[in-house]
Amino acid sequence: MNRTIHYDVQDAVNSAAFIFYRPENEKVSSKVFYSPAAMDILTRVEASRKKGRETSPDISLLCDKWKKLMDKKYEEIGRESEEKPEQACFIDVIKSQKRLYAVRGTVLSDSSHNLNPDEWPHLFILDRTYSDQANIAKSFRKWHLNKREQEIVQLLLDDHSNKEIAEELKLSCNTIKGYMKLLMRKLDVNSRAGIISKLFYFNDINVNYS
């Protein structure tokens, strides 16, 4: 029996969380196109930051930040400025309400001879991640985190600020800042998002592509 599978491209676009971004240059202003799913995620990120008050996120500002993170990442791994990245790379982690999303970025342009690298269009993909307790425990063992470091990372996963972590653990903000620096040094990263990515995104965290 023959079966016909109907594939609705518009449904696929609506359900995928992605953002197309073309940086601003001397001739044209920046251009942003995003899927409804991406807008929904980022709106909930803003609502979390504003304590439940929904506001429209500044997606252009986020894309500019992510582009700079990509530029820095490629610079750190020794890529030449004219070389086009070959695949999407992890650049950030965002929290949308209680869900965690990994941000991956890739450059879309094949016109390396006609365009300055700063003008290449970018595609950012937001992947929901799932970090279960087994994977968390495995990461803690792998990186030899002590009890206090584990407590701080758990609160970091819940998107707590340094001040909130200090209050929760009854420590000073300076002490928490010290622990953050130690964690970054131990994991060889330079940001809070880097701590999360090194411990979980690159260590058996499951990404949902559905």
Q: Would you state the pLDDT for residue 180? A: 94
Whether 3 is in a domain gets the answer no
User: Per-residue pLDDT averaged across 173-197, rounded?
Assistant: 88
Query: Looking at the structure, do residues 43 and 73 belong to the same domain, yes or no?
Result: yes
Query: Looking at the structure, do residues 35 and 137 belong to the same domain, yes or no?
Result: no
Whether 4 is in a domain gets the answer no
Q: What is the pLDDT of residues 151-177, one digit of tens each?
A: 999 888 777 889 999 999 999 999 999
| Domain ranges, residue 97 | 9-130
Q: Over the chain, what is the mean pLDDT? A: 76
Cut 0.75: pTM above it: no
Query: Looking at the structure, do residues 143 and 97 belong to the same domain, yes or no?
Result: no
Q: Would you state the pLDDT for residue 208? A: 40
Query: Looking at the structure, do residues 29 and 109 belong to the same domain, yes or no?
Result: yes
Q: Which residues contact 79 (CB under 8 A, 6 or more apart)?
A: 85
Whether 162 is in a domain gets the answer yes
User: Per-residue pLDDT averaged across 100-114, rounded?
Assistant: 72
Query: Looking at the structure, do residues 82 and 142 belong to the same domain, yes or no?
Result: no
Residues 19 and 33 sit within 8 Å (Cβ to Cβ):
yes
Query: Which CATH number fits the domain that encloses residue 90?
Result: 3.30.450
Q: Would you state the pLDDT for residue 28? A: 65
Query: Looking at the structure, do residues 114 and 14 belong to the same domain, yes or no?
Result: yes
- The sign of the dihedral angle between the CA atoms of 138, 140, 146, 151 is negative
Query: Which CATH number fits the domain that encloses residue 180?
Result: 1.10.10.10
pLDDT band at 117 (very low <50, low <70, confident <90, very high): low
Residues 199 and 187 sit within 8 Å (Cβ to Cβ):
yes
Domain boundary among 91, 113, 130: 130
Domain boundary among 99, 130, 161: 130
Q: What is the pLDDT of residues 56-83, one digit of tens each?
A: 788 988 898 888 888 877 776 554 444 5
Query: Looking at the structure, do residues 59 and 155 belong to the same domain, yes or no?
Result: no
Query: Looking at the structure, do residues 82 and 126 belong to the same domain, yes or no?
Result: yes
Whether 210 is in a domain gets the answer no
pLDDT band at 127 (very low <50, low <70, confident <90, very high): confident
Domains: count for the chain: 2
Q: Would you state the pLDDT for residue 172? A: 94
Please tell me the distance from the alpha carbon of residue 184 to that of residue 118, in angstroms, as a whole number. 29
Residue count of the chain, please give it: 210
Token duo for residue 91: 């650049």
Whether 2 is in a domain gets the answer no
